[in-house]
């Protein structure tokens, strides 16, 4: 019989998953601003590895590689609003950028009763951390200057996965 223990251990990934609770903060700023996406921890996580510090920051309590996934679902009443996402390590943007959607309100296609349009921006990045590094998500205006807020509580997620050591 094949040894499945190795595969089980390899794919038993340690992670933390959070969702937004904030639906009032304007995330479409002219300078990079922390997005409050870590308001609610939705998965069991190893508190020896991850510490939620605030609605915007997660501390990694280990050294190694992480893969960070972010999806921000936002709404704006102004056309062509686009929030570009950056994953931040200790407040400094990492390589990947995510600006995958902008708002547009064509007549008869509004999703929200208020007439506001919705969109989603996504980003993923793998990078190394050392113990006590802080991971957060920043947003910056890439389109029009309309106010953009996360559409509803729980609609945006941040997931940080610890890569298996020696993988």
Check if the beta carbon of residue 76 is closer than 8 Å to that of residue 27. no
Tell me: pLDDT of 113 over 60: no
pLDDT score of 97: 79
pLDDT (tens digit, 9 = 90+) per residue, 115-149? Answer: 667 888 899 999 999 999 999 999 998 888 889 89
Give domain status of residue 2, yes or no. no
Strands 133-141 and 83-89, by their bridges, are: antiparallel
Give domain status of residue 116, yes or no. yes
Give domain status of residue 79, yes or no. yes
What does DSSP assign to residue 35? Answer: -
Give domain status of residue 60, yes or no. yes
Total of domains in the chain: 1
| Over residues 42-51, mean pLDDT | 87
Q: What is the DSSP string of 37-99?
A: --SEE-S---TTTEEE-SSSEEEE-S-EEEEEEEEEEEEESSTT--EEEEEEETTEEEEEEE-
* 3-state secondary structure at position 11: helix
Q: Provide the percentage of residues in the chain whose pLDDT is more than 70.
A: 81
| CATH at 67 | 2.60.120.40
């Amino acid at each position: 019989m094949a040894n499945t223990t190795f595969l089980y251990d390899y794919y038993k990934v340690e992670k933390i998953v959070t969702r937004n609770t904030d639906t009032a903060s304007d995330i479409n700023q002219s300078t990079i601003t922390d997005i409050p996406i870590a308001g609610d921890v939705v998965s069991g996580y190893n508190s020896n590895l991850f510490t939620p510090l605030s609605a915007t920051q997660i501390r990694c309590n280990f050294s190694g590689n992480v893969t960070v996934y972010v999806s921000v679902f936002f709404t704006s009443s102004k056309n062509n609003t686009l929030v570009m996402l950056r994953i931040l390590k200790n407040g400094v943007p990492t390589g990947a950028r995510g600006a995958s959607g902008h708002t547009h309100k064509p007549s008869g296609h509004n999703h929200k009763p208020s007439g506001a349009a919705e969109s989603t921006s996504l980003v993923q990045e793998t990078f190394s951390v050392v113990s006590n590094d802080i991971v957060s998500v920043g947003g910056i205006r890439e389109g029009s200057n309309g106010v953009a807020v996360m559409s509803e509580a729980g609609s945006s997620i941040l997931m940080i996965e610890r890569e298996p050591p020696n993988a």
